[in-house]
Structures are given as structure tokens and as C-alpha cells.
A = this chain, B = another copy of it.
């Protein structure tokens, strides 16, 4: 998942506005599904962000080409933890752990469909 930094992503400090790295990571999570002709909105519901632990290591700038790498840290009945890193070339500029909870269409916590679970494990493995 390659992402270009455009004007809209930067701020007056001359670098990418801090919350946009979260957006880049979310694009990569959604694109996992889209690339396999699936939607991140599952039959039963969808995932929402529950916890984030993020480290900002370097600043990305206008015009930079960034790559987002996503791996699965943990998968449970109704939640998953992903580890996401953003690189500019070989340089790691951002990393975060994000815990997602699966909600049904009423907004209640709900089991991740078995098929989506398997899909995620096949796509991005389990690290630990």
C-alpha cells in the first residue's frame, strides 16, 4: 500500500499533520479487503478503533511516497490487534498498534465472522 503525501495531508509546520498517519493506516486496513474484492464492512457489521498506541519517529513531507505495512498481532472472537508501520523507503517513520472491535449493525460488540477471521490470518498472518 503506497501513499503519496499531498497538500491536504500537511500543515503549516511543513510536515504531515499527526492524525493523518492514522488515516494512512486505516486506508491500508481497508485496502486489504478491497484488494481481495471484499469490503471492510462485513456481512455482520464492521470494525471500529478501540485503542491506539502510536510512535512518531520521523516526519513525512509534501510529495513523499510512503508505504504502510500491516501485520496481525492478535485475533480474538470480537477483536483484533494489528501492528502497522509506515516507511519512507527503508526509513521507519511511524508505527502503531491498533485494537479494533467488531460491531454489528446495531453498534453492539459482535463476533468476527469466521470467514473474515480466516481471511485476515491468510492475508497478514499472526505475529504472536
A residues bordering B, Cβ < 8 Å? 4, 6-8, 10-15, 17-20, 22-23, 26-27, 30-31, 34, 39-41, 46, 48-56, 59, 61-63, 96, 107
Contact = CB atoms under 8 A, between A and B. Distances in A.
In the complex, the count of this chain's copies comes to 4
Contact of A8 (B14, B26, B41): B26
Nearest to A21: B19
B8 A19 contact: yes
A53 B53 contact: yes
5 contacts: A12-B15, A18-B26, A19-B23, A39-B63, A51-B56
Given A46-B13, A62-B41, A23 B52 contact: no
Question: Which are the 9 A-B pairs with shortest beta-carbon distances?
Answer: A10-B12, A19-B22, A18-B49, A19-B19, A52-B54, A7-B11, A12-B62, A6-B27, A8-B23
